Amino acid sequence: MMTLLETLARGAGAIAAYAAVGLVLLIVGFFVIDLAIPGKLSTIIKTERNPNATLLTSSGLAAIALIVAASIWASGGKLAEGLTATAVFGLVGIAVQTVAMLVFDRVVGISARELVKEPELQPGTRVLAVTHVAIGLITAVAVI
């Protein structure tokens, strides 16, 4: 039987490990969005204060967080398997979101590349943002 200290140490280690995997996935997601739009994303958000880039990035990161949380939930306390599943499902979620942005651009005609050039928040940005979160939620539920 584990002592309270051992239980707390094991739990704290698991939290740190999942947080590290989650952070890496968020950073990967950020850079994938950065590749998908013209210009440097951090500059567009920080310096230009572009609301379209900010909303698209925020929704994409929220979607990744949903996938990470679902992967943790589905791990059933199996740390190594859970961390692996979280990394794999997170990367799949990032790929699916990227494909969805490309499909929306081709099929619906809503281009993230064009939206981030606009200084005012655009209706198409809201549609893509909801699409990001919806795909993150769908992926998260599929994980569970």
Q: What is the pLDDT of residues 80-125, one digit of tens each?
A: 999 999 999 999 989 988 898 888 889 999 999 999 999 999 999 9
The separation between CA 132 and the C-alpha centre of its own chain, rounded to angstroms, equals: 8
Predicted local distance difference test score (pLDDT) of residue 128: 92
Say whether pLDDT at 2 is over 90. Answer: no
Q: Which pLDDT score, from 0 to 100, does residue 100 have?
A: 85
**Residue numbers of the domain that contains 54:** 10-143
Burial 102-114 (b: 16+ CB within 10 A, else e): eebbeeeebbbee
pLDDT digits 0-9 by tens, 115-128:
999 999 999 999 99
For residue 62, is it within any domain? Answer: yes
The answer as to whether 38 is a domain residue is yes
Tokens of 74: 């589905």
In a domain, 28, yes or no: yes
Q: In this structure, is residue 4 part of a structural domain?
A: no
CB 32 within 8 A of CB 94: yes
Q: Is residue 54 part of a domain?
A: yes
Q: Under a CB-based contact definition with an 8 Å cutoff, are residues 137 and 98 in contact?
A: no
Residue 77 lies in a domain: yes
Q: What is the pLDDT of residues 40-79, one digit of tens each?
A: 999 999 999 999 999 999 999 999 999 999 988 988 888 9
How many structural domains comprise the chain?
1
What pTM does this model have? 0.89
Q: Is residue 114 part of a domain?
A: yes
CA torsion 82-17-62-29 (nearest 10°) is: -90
